[in-house]
Amino acid sequence: MDLKDIGEFGFIERFAHQFDHLIKNDDSGIGDDCAVLSVSDTTNHVVSTDLLLEDVHFLKDRISPEELGYKSLAVNLSDIAAMGAKPLYSFLSLGIPKNTKVDFLDDFMKGYYRLSEKYNTPLMGGDTTKSPDKLLINVVVVGVVEKSKMHLRSMAQTGDIVCVTGFLGDSGGGLKAILKQMDVDTDIQELIDRHHNPKPQINEGLFLGKEKYVHAMMDISDGISSDLRHILKASGKSAKIDVEKIPVSTLLRKVAKNHNWDITELGSSGGEDYELLFTMEKEKFASLNQAFLTKFGKAIHTIGEIEEGKPEIIWQKNGKPLGNRKSGFDHFK
Ligand code: ADP
Ligand code: MG
């Protein structure tokens, strides 16, 4: 059997539950955006870790070192936001090719520092080693959340609406332009900038997290077609999603029209937007959306509903059934 037959998540499932009996009652490990470590009757610490490898997660000649430092921390902060938690500390480990310029590393750290300072999250340690060829970056972030305000992927309830905190597909569009080595005009550059400068939804996560009627939450790293399935599997529910309701920016619509891109495809399966995906009680939507709009200057978008059934997405277009869509990003498939 090859890794590509089972994929990233098939591999993780092969060993994940072996450790269950070693995990204390109030803690939880593999399977959510962060591990959950109970530190008191009322408080949890949450821990996220992500690996970025040159030529897999980034192309060194396309992203600036400052953006790379920023993004390495941002993707981890996004997982902290997904729990409704506040970041506390970070750790940074690097495998560095010998010929790397110190200027490059200084700029990398400048970007890392910029985001650390923004969320008052100091770098507390890490490790540094030589790498034979490619730059390797691993970040760990520790956060804190009141137990009553924590949001797991398993919390979706039948009748909930499915919501996202912003436009989807811009980052995927930027990546597409990079990979296709397209000529870079101002519009394409803006999409590439979105891909390189994701905004972790920390304050949005804290805002949503304090509401009891907000249920499951996660961040969108692989695209909703893959990420929502994780919520459905963890919650044992099904979801009906309308592709016409997936929020796509005016910018992406314009570029997609010019270059014949499928915006539905990018909106549902393009990854790395790092917006939050969550489910909530339908009746509370109007007031929550109003408060969110006032506080953050952007709207929450409703894309579908949670139902009883197999943990699969039932895709619709304007209320009519649609076939299967591509299932988001998996490293090995
Ligand atoms: P995210 O996209 O939110 O960072 P992933 O999809 O990368 O999450 O991972 C899914 C879950 O599997 C997470 O709980 C993560 O901690 C866990 N995981 C991924 N790879 C490994 C590994 N090699 N060992 C242990 N746990 C892992
Ligand atoms: Mg995540």
Tens digit of pLDDT for each residue in 137-175? Answer: 999 999 999 999 999 999 999 999 999 999 999 999 999
What is the spatial distance between Cα 123 and Cα 294, in angstroms, rounded to a whole number? 32
Q: Is 79 in the pocket of ligand 1 (CB under 6 A)?
A: yes
Q: What band does 328 get if pLDDT is binned at 50, 70 and 90?
A: low
Ligand 1 neighbourhood includes 37 CB (under 6 angstroms): no
Q: Does residue 76's CB lie within 6 angstroms of at least one atom of ligand 1? A: no
Q: Tokens for 185?
A: 């005009």
Q: How far is the CA of 31 from the centre of ligand 1 (A)?
A: 7
Query: What is the CB-side half-sphere exposure of residue 117 using CA atoms within 13 A?
Result: 7
Region 208-225: what's the mean pLDDT? Answer: 97
Cβ(51) – ligand 1 distance below 6 Å: no
Query: What integer pLDDT is reported at residue 158 of this predicted model?
Result: 98
pTM, two decimal places: 0.95
Per DSSP, 163 falls in state E
Q: Which residues contact 82 (CB under 8 A, 6 or more apart)?
A: 33, 34, 151, 205, 217, 218, 219, 276
Q: Please report, as a single letter, which amino acid is at residue 213.
A: Y
Contacts of 297 (CB under 8 A, 6+ apart): none
Per-residue model confidence (pLDDT) at position 77: 98
The DSSP output letter for 72 is: H
Compute the distance from residue 178 Cα to the ligand 1 centre, in Å. Answer: 26
Residue 38 CB coordination number (10 Å): 15
Task: Report the alpha-carbon distance of residue 215 to residue 234 in Å, rounded.
Answer: 12
Instruction: Output DSSP code: residue 254.
Output: H
- Tell me the percentage of the chain whose pLDDT exceeds 90: 94
What tokens does 70 get? 């920023």
- Atom index in ligand 1 nearest the CA of residue 82 equals 3
Half-sphere exposure of 131 (CA within 13 A, CB side): 15
Measure 330 CA to ligand 1 centroid, in angstroms: 12
Sorting pLDDT into bands at 50, 70 and 90, what band is 326? low
Ligand 1 and 10: CB distance under 6 A: no
Q: From the CA of 14, which ligand is nearest? A: 1
Residue nearest to atom 26 of ligand 1 (CA): 30
Q: Is 50 in the pocket of ligand 1 (CB under 6 A)?
A: yes
Q: CA-to-CA distance for 213 and 25, rounded, in angstroms?
A: 25
Q: Which ligand is nearest to the CA of 49?
A: 1
Nearest to 268 by CA among 311, 223, 230: 223
End-to-end CA distance of the chain: 13
Ligand 1 binding pocket includes 12 (Cβ within 6 Å): yes
Angle at 120 between CA 63 and CA 291, to 5 degrees: 90
Task: Give the mean pLDDT of 227-254.
Answer: 97
